[in-house]
Amino acid sequence: MRMNRYLMLCVLVSSLGGLLFGFDTAVISGTEKLLQTVFQLSDFGLGFTVASALIGTILGSLAVGYPADRWGRRPTLILIAILYFVSAVGSGLAWDWYSLVFFRLLGGLGVGGASVVAPMYIAEVTPPQSRGRLVAVVQFNIVLGILLAFLSNYWIARLDLGESEWRWMFGVEAAPALVFWLLLYAIPRSPRWLVSRGRSREALDVLMRLGVAPGEAKLLVRKIEESLESRNIPAWEALLSPRYRRSMLLAITIAAFNQLSGINALMYYAPRIFEMAGAGKDTAFLQAVAVGGTNLIFTMLAMTIIDRFGRRFLMLIGSIGYILSLATTAGTFYWYGAKFDDLGNLIVLVSLLVFIASHAFGQGAVIWVFISEIFPNTVRAYGQALGSFTHWFMCALISWTFPMIASASGGHAFAFYAVMMMLQLLWVLFLMPETKGIPLEEIERPLAGRADVTAR
């Protein structure tokens, strides 16, 4: 029982990187209209301001593979916590637009790094039969962070702080970032990273503390050592070899589709979207909180069944929900144009709540679990970085272009996202393998060959 508690401590602490990931990405939604006024930004300039953090996520997701491999997962998470803290304080105290963009970019480096290292660390310390729901704790914390950001923005907006309102919205993140930083010293290094550095005895001790029986721990260490024997070239070179081509394509496509759903357009611009649909300022902020709450509830539901029904089942249900909700939202914007009434506002609200539920139940719960599973020990850090880079590159593209597209017609944006989700549904049906319940060391073989991965 004690060892199980220790495992849960490791999962909960490392997944706090996801909570700050969610908070940092969603907090901009409460500030963007005020930032546009304070800094006199065009729609293009506003899109760049929002995307500045995302440029950091792209760089962070690309760069984090090296320190995660070289220094280890835990030290890299500590660096990420420091970036979150500095970004929160700096953004709150920013003295001009350039300093704000700089500190938001630093936060983006943390988000990009956390999206790679947090799920990878949890995948490497958890048993295969519960890996899906434990890695999904990262996603749970992401959506919890999003909800906390929406709630924080709502309450700060109600204080009527004037032009300093946006500073408080950014600055409150410093407190959880400091807690995350301190708690990371209570968890161990990844046992798989320890084996890769020739520290198998330490890895054995960590595995037993995590609840693995001594005999099973020794066998697992041996399997990890065998999986690493083929590592005779640098990891990034190995990743580009034909052997891992299918894994790379799977990571790239699931990450791209995640953002082509338009999920972060909603996360970053939720109050603006609801105001476009006829809601007042306070109502728009409150509806954004409803989005965050729905996200949390359906993420929790997905976590309870992901290891029972598998990754593909969740993706299928989520894809269908995406298509129906996005098509309805697009049609409503086309029908009402700029003249929304209460009924139109309600239809948009309900449709986007169905959309966020579909995302939380499908892509949101699956993406980081799936990417952390499909790469072997030898290239996992760089493979995870590739998937995360694709995710954040597409996120920057979507968030930068949304204000310009939406100013012409909200219907255009949501119609495009609906078409992309039709393509995702085809990808899930015909190309996505199932990975539930399979030890990490055994997933590599069928992906490297022609056979599909099937659950045992």
Per DSSP, the residues of 49-115 read HHHHHHHHHHHHHHHTHHHHHHT-HHHHHHHHHHHHHHHHHHHHT--SHHHHHHHHHHHHHHHHHHH
Both structure tokens of 63: 């760069």
Per-residue confidence band for 274, with pLDDT thresholds at 50, 70 and 90: confident
pLDDT at 80: 93
Which residues, 6+ apart, have CB-to-CB distance to 272 below 8 Å?
Answer: 29, 32, 33, 284, 403, 406
Tell me if 420 is assigned to some domain.
Answer: yes
Tell me if 147 is assigned to some domain.
Answer: yes
Tell me if 237 is assigned to some domain.
Answer: yes
Which whole number is the average pLDDT over 31-55? 81
Count of structural domains within the chain: 1
Tell me if 452 is assigned to some domain.
Answer: no
Which residues, 6+ apart, have CB-to-CB distance to 269 below 8 Å?
Answer: 29, 32, 399, 402, 403, 406
105-108 contacts, C-beta under 8 A, 24 or more apart: 105/52, 105/53, 105/55, 105/56, 105/59, 106/56, 107/24, 107/53, 107/56, 107/83, 107/173, 108/24, 108/52, 108/53, 108/54, 108/55, 108/56, 108/57, 108/58, 108/59, 108/60, 108/392
**pTM of this prediction?**
0.72
pLDDT at 52 over 60: yes
CB 334 within 8 A of CB 409: yes
Tell me if 456 is assigned to some domain.
Answer: no
pLDDT in tens, 74-94: 999 999 999 999 999 999 998
pLDDT at 272 over 70: yes
Tell me if 75 is assigned to some domain.
Answer: yes
Domain of 163 in residue numbering reads as: 7-447
CB 86 within 8 A of CB 58: no
Per-residue confidence band for 452, with pLDDT thresholds at 50, 70 and 90: very low
Which spans in 235-362 are helix H?
A: 235-239, 245-260, 263-276, 281-309, 311-336, 342-361
Tell me if 2 is assigned to some domain.
Answer: no
pLDDT at 155 over 80: yes
CB atoms within 10 A of CB 237: 10
| Cα 259–chain centre separation | 10
CB 110 within 8 A of CB 67: no
Tell me if 455 is assigned to some domain.
Answer: no
Q: What is the percent of the chain where pLDDT is above 70?
A: 91
* CATH code, domain carrying 107: 1.20.1250.20
